[in-house]
Amino acid sequence: MCGIFAYTGGRNAKPILLEGLSMLEYRGYDSAGLYLSDQGVTRTPGAVTELRAKATGESSAKSGLAHLRWATHGEPTEENAHPHTDCDSNVYIAHNGIIENFNELKQGLIARGHTFKSKTDTEVLAHMIEEELKADKSFEDAVVDTLKKVHGTYGLLISYAKEPETIITARMGSPIVLGIGKGERFIASDATPIVKHTKKMVFLEDGDIAIVTPDSHRIRTLKEASVDRKEEEISWDVGEASRGGYPHFMLKEIFEAPEVLENALRGRLIVNEGRAKLGGLESVAKQLEKLDRLMITACGTAYYAGLIGEYLIEDLAGLPVEVDVGSEFRYRKPIIGKKTAVLAVSQSGETLDTLEAMREGKRRGALTLGVVNAVGSTIARETDAGVYNHAGPEIGVASTKAFLSQVTVLALIALFLGRARSLSEEDGKKIVKALMELPELSKKVLAKSDAIKALALKYKDARDFLFIGRRYSYPVALEGALKLKETSYVHAEGCAAGEMKHGPLAMIDNKFPTVVVIPMDSVYQKTLSNMIEIKTRKGPVIAIATEGDVRVAEIADDVIYVPKTEEQLTPILSAIALQLFAYHFAAEKGLNVDRPRNLAKSVTVE
């Protein structure tokens, strides 16, 4: 999820590239770099301010590449910043995405004498193109033949020192927008840095490779020498362009669910063995085998993901799990033995209470683990081992895509631990299959966005909401309530469906709606009884139910159906529906959904 920008045309490229890059900065990056044909590469940790300070000196280059990195492979250092180059400094590459098979490709290249200067997955591409060029292939053929050997995702910018006017770009999983000006072309990861120069754009499709010069562009695929892609005249302003045309980042990020789920799973499933492969946990595999307890610590939405992790890990791995919010864990004198691991879950990797809870675990002798989105963040650096989310930067203050990713990674950890313990191959395979289906299923929930919006409108005057669920759906109910209250400022309370009769039921009347999370799972009948109890008190009910469940529709006032999946993974699909509900409810009120009052994205104070 890096930001990339390229220019080729008649103007001086350097100021255009630096200005364009600063417009992409809103996504919050950790390092930056620039390639200009007459100056070579300038790279730095930090972002555009640091790059400007470093890229001094006049340039008259008329083309170049620029990159903002959001680290995935390798820490955010100067060496790992893009663009990367080959042994002869002829080929320059800026990349957004992950090359899955980079390790095996890299070993082959090292054996053939190539020297690597970074720890990134991207650098392999520069060396592979170098080899193809040395075999006397054209720039285009060298790129095409290289991409034939690559698995993974990419939005690529490639420059060749001997043909400085030409830039080749390729898209697989990571967006590429081509801007068409008069005698100039722009290429970027989203339309933001382009709209100022031209509104005429082509949105590349997966598998597209474009050969771009100032006056022309030809789009091809690995198989076909030319394909037609229509030019669009967009009407977005800069703000809309940065949100990819969505009215808010929160909605954009909810709609990133399929990609986020793919990214969390990519390269981590061994399908024929029903196992998860988690490179980040390999160094502590022996200690994990001996664990007798896992303590998960996190805050807010990440804490609710942790609660789902508890159900998952106890269910699939038979390992006792405790979950605690960071601010409690760090002060409650937790009992930690030699076989205890403390797992911190955090999108930012900087939440102070989670960090201090993890440090408290470490002081008491626990193995420390992390499920973190921000590479190189404090929690990621200080834990003994961990698994990255690869969900990309989350801009909306209310966490949405990170939550989906956290639950997915916790499911992978549960599978990883489970298969090393008691989980059978057959049951492992069931989970693997269901995980692989999730990205497609998530699209079906997203397709209901308009229907969910209509529902949010129907309930727009309600001032109080109760959210209930059982087992895996209990933390989902808690998260659904948090999402609604933080974006809409209405009172929303989550509770275990079984707890309702112990107090919350007293609040219910015809003006107090309840959202019942009721997938067809092992506790379906019990949740159904709770739903009936609410209806008996004349409480309006919105059900989040499994497609095809007619019984629920007879009782509830409204139903949002989500596709069927394994019980353990229902939280991911139900959560998307609740995220959309919260978003539309708040957006209809005209609230600042991306920046709810009184809240900050990263809570680095107690």
Alpha-carbon gap, residue 213 to 385, rounded angstroms: 45
Alpha-carbon gap, residue 565 to 570, rounded angstroms: 6
Any residues with CB less than 8 A from the CB of 549 and at least 6 apart, and which?
Answer: 518, 520, 559, 561
Alpha-carbon gap, residue 282 to 106, rounded angstroms: 20
Q: Which is nearer to ligand F6R, 334 or 480 (CB)?
A: 480
Side chain identity at residue 546, one-letter code: T
Question: Are the beta carbons of 258 and 404 closer than 8 angstroms?
Answer: no
Q: Shortest gap between Cβ of 172 and ligand F6R (angstroms)?
A: 29
Alpha-carbon gap, residue 353 to 603, rounded angstroms: 8
Q: What is the DSSP letter of 163?
A: S
Q: Which is nearer to ligand F6R, 301 or 574 (CB)?
A: 301
486 binds ligand F6R (CB under 6 A): yes
Residue entry with tokens 């900087």: 350
Q: Exactly one of 174, 189, 348, 405 binds ligand F6R (CB under 6 A); which one?
A: 348
DSSP string, 398-440: S--HHHHHHHHHHHHHHHHHHHHTT--HHHHHHHHHHHHHHHH
Residue span binding ligand F6R (CB under 6 A) among the ranges 213-221, 295-303, 532-540, 577-585: 295-303
Among residues 137, 362, 443, 601, the one annotated as catalytic is 601
Q: Shortest gap between Cβ of 550 and ligand F6R (angstroms)?
A: 34
Q: Shortest gap between Cβ of 310 and ligand F6R (angstroms)?
A: 17
Q: Exactly one of 155, 175, 300, 513 binds ligand F6R (CB under 6 A); which one?
A: 300
Q: Shortest gap between Cβ of 399 and ligand F6R (angstroms)?
A: 3
Q: Shortest gap between Cβ of 384 and ligand F6R (angstroms)?
A: 18
Residue span binding ligand F6R (CB under 6 A) among the ranges 269-277, 342-350, 414-422, 449-457: 342-350
- Parallel, antiparallel, or unpaired for β 154-160 and 63-69? unpaired
Q: Shortest gap between Cβ of 598 and ligand F6R (angstroms)?
A: 12
Q: Which is nearer to ligand F6R, 234 or 484 (CB)?
A: 484
Residue span binding ligand F6R (CB under 6 A) among the ranges 187-195, 348-356, 383-391, 523-531: 348-356
Q: Report, in this order, helix, strand and coil percent for the chain, each rounded to 5.
A: 40, 20, 35
Q: Which is nearer to ligand F6R, 351 or 449 (CB)?
A: 351
The DSSP element (H or E) to which 444 belongs, if any, is helix 425-446
Question: Are the beta carbons of 200 and 179 closer than 8 angstroms?
Answer: yes
297 binds ligand F6R (CB under 6 A): no
Q: Exactly one of 354, 378, 405, 527 binds ligand F6R (CB under 6 A); which one?
A: 354
351 binds ligand F6R (CB under 6 A): yes
Q: Which is nearer to ligand F6R, 105 or 254 (CB)?
A: 254
**Which sign does the torsion angle of CA 463, 472, 410, 430 carry?**
negative
Using CB positions, name the residue nearest to ligand F6R: 300
Alpha-carbon gap, residue 534 to 511, rounded angstroms: 12
Structure tokens at 492: 């929303």
327 binds ligand F6R (CB under 6 A): no
488 binds ligand F6R (CB under 6 A): no
Alpha-carbon gap, residue 166 to 594, rounded angstroms: 39
Among residues 2, 62, 401, 485, the one annotated as catalytic is 2
Residue span binding ligand F6R (CB under 6 A) among the ranges 142-150, 184-192, 267-275, 296-304: 296-304
Q: Which is nearer to ligand F6R, 17 or 402 (CB)?
A: 402
Ramachandran angles phi, psi of 580, nearest 5° = -65, -40
Q: Which is nearer to ligand F6R, 8 or 487 (CB)?
A: 487
- Contact positions with ligand F6R (CB under 6 A) in 187-246: none
How many residues make up the chain in this entry? 606
CA distances from 119 to 81, 269, 571 (A): 10, 23, 35
Q: Exactly one of 142, 150, 302, 395 binds ligand F6R (CB under 6 A); which one?
A: 302
Q: Exactly one of 42, 189, 301, 514 binds ligand F6R (CB under 6 A); which one?
A: 301
Q: Exactly one of 31, 346, 442, 579 binds ligand F6R (CB under 6 A); which one?
A: 346
Q: Is 338 exposed, middle or buried (0-12, 13-18, 19+ CB in 10 A)?
A: exposed
Is 601 noted as a catalytic residue in this protein? yes
Question: Are the beta carbons of 109 and 127 closer than 8 angstroms?
Answer: yes
Q: Shortest gap between Cβ of 374 and ligand F6R (angstroms)?
A: 8
**Which sign does the torsion angle of CA 554, 556, 560, 561 carry?**
negative
Alpha-carbon gap, residue 428 to 420, rounded angstroms: 11
Question: Are the beta carbons of 575 and 271 closer than 8 angstroms?
Answer: no
**DSSP alpha helix (H) spans, 293-424:** 300-317, 326-329, 352-363, 378-382, 401-420
Q: Which is nearer to ligand F6R, 262 or 353 (CB)?
A: 353
- Contact positions with ligand F6R (CB under 6 A) in 573-602: 602
Q: Which is nearer to ligand F6R, 37 or 373 (CB)?
A: 373
- The contact pattern for ligand F6R, residues 387-426, with x = CB under 6 A and - = no contact, is -----------xx---------------------------
Binding positions for ligand F6R, rule: CB under 6 A: 299-302, 346-348, 351, 354, 398-399, 482, 486, 602-603
> Which residues does the annotation mark as catalytic?
2, 601
